[in-house]
Structure 1
Amino acid sequence: MPTTTPPVTEASAAQLKSLGVQIRIRRKALGVSATAAAEAAGISRVTLHRVEKGEPSVAAGAWGNVLAALGMVWQAHSAGQLADVASERQDRKGWIPARVHLHDYPQLRSLAWQVHGTETLTPMEALGIYERNARHLDAQAMSADEQDLLDALRLGLQDKHPAKETPDGV
């Protein structure tokens, strides 16, 4: 007789969903199909889909197999360590990455719909896309990380970004 799934707290469900999203992003970044990833993990494609959705009823072994197949590892933190990780992210405010990964910044990804064949942009390209499409930017939907990136790009690259020239005497 099958056992019932124990109740899952909201915090646990959110963590599983987040891990599932990270797994999906990693699989896509590697260019691995769902079928190939599932075969490499020794699970069905349906189970992989359930892992990527963050379903808590999927066996821990399946989660572990998927992580291993994609070159990822489990990592556990205590609540105090999570606060340290959050403060570490705060220390990166004003930091500009060498390459801007579109999957990390949903608003940029939606503005860069015309960019094909790459998942990363240079900081100058990212700033250009943000500025050219500013009227389409949903600032309220931006995560704090994405807002920090945009602020850092504007602050660090504004003087390097070509300004519109005006004719003399105008």
Structure 2
Amino acid sequence: MRPAEPPTLQAAGRRLEAFGRRIHARRKALKISAVTTAEAAGMSRMTLHRIERGEPSVTMGAYMNALAALGLDVELVAPDDRSASEVAAPASARTPAQTVRVADFAQLRRLAWQLPSTAELTPEEAWGTYERNWRHADPSALQDNERQLLAELARTLGRKPLDV
């Protein structure tokens, strides 16, 4: 038996559905099965499918776990906090064009085990993967190219460097 759906405004419901579609599209783009994603997120396949449909009765924690399993994150931004250029420019224009190939970095591959080795992440996705999963990394095993990547990501994204 499913829990009763909380009351939502129509606009919020449409946004949740769009959010779910984007999560689904990301999983498909990465060619990861629903079962693998659900296991990585610590949930049932049915809960993942409910998230991908944007159901409001699913907990925020479950949504966040699904996002993390797919190398995604969310940021809360008030409409007034965004500059006019951010609003006008699509997300792809606001982020660096280069990508980080998972297979090129041993610790990243270890932290992003659920992704295919051919997966390419945006700098933000790569940083988010390192940051969320750093407790599972082995800093002593970092090679020079991965140390350089971490330093460059921290500098480019304006983040505090990880303890390497």
- TM-score where L is the length of structure 2: 0.49
Larger Rg: 1
Question: Scaled by the length of structure 1, what TM-score is found?
Answer: 0.47
